Amino acid sequence: MSEVQFHQMPDGRRIAYRFNAGSGPALVFLPGYMSDMDGGKATTLFEWASGEGRAALLLDYSGCGQSSGNFADGTLSLWREEVLALIDARLTGDRVVVVGSSMGGWLMLLVGLALGDRLAGLLGIASAPDFTEWGRWEADKARLAAGEIVFDENPYGPEPTPMHPGFWQNGQSQLLLGGTIGLDCPVRLLHGQQDEDVPWEITMRLARALGSPDVQVTLVKDGDHRLSREQDIALLVRTVSALLETAEESDKR
């Protein structure tokens, strides 16, 4: 793995990232909610891309991992700004394939819409667009709207998972599944049907909402939310490899 570097945003935020130079389209991985670039899927894809001589970028959102800031201040808009700043700083002019896991699957759509012609493809893993809407009880929404923090049981650690009012309010202004998502690049969507965090039906809704005619969905019948088993990782690498080849062929036309 390459060494961790830091990109300073105009307001002083220091965003931790790893970057590997190489051929394009470049691979950018967006982790999930309260996750970071040291997760198994992120590091596996980065190492695979490095071995293939492909450009790749990992990052920690502000308030996560090794980046500065407080998680309580994080929003989709803020993190989209950080992702785009790093893409502009390290991938100048390169076309980009964005991979998003869980919440990162929502953020990848927002980043993709901002990238315009530079977007070469998307790959969502248990994508969770609009989870501030479908993932919350009405009582929780009322508490969040009133400025309260809502805590959820965390199946992956001892501490409960917080949702802060700022994140929820910003998410409610970024809902995408109610209309057509104006992206026409190739899209690949993976989802485990035993996912207890994000229903696999959300991926089907996303596939229908995307404007692209080239959308392929792969459902893993016995897969969970993380899709981090050996066979799941192998599927992810195969899917990324094929998507990059599709993007390259499109660029040659």
DSSP designation for 160: P
Catalytic residues: 102, 195, 225
Distance of alpha carbon 124 from alpha carbon 14, whole angstroms = 26
Distance of alpha carbon 48 from alpha carbon 55, whole angstroms = 11
In contact, 227 and 220? CB cutoff 8 Å: yes
Distance of alpha carbon 2 from alpha carbon 43, whole angstroms = 10
Cis ω on the peptide bond leading into residue 25 (within 30° of 0)?
A: yes
The secondary element (H helix, E strand) that includes residue 30 is strand 23-30
Q: Which tokens is 124 given?
A: 């969502």
Distance of alpha carbon 27 from alpha carbon 232, whole angstroms = 19
Cα torsion angle, 113, 226, 38, 150, sign? positive
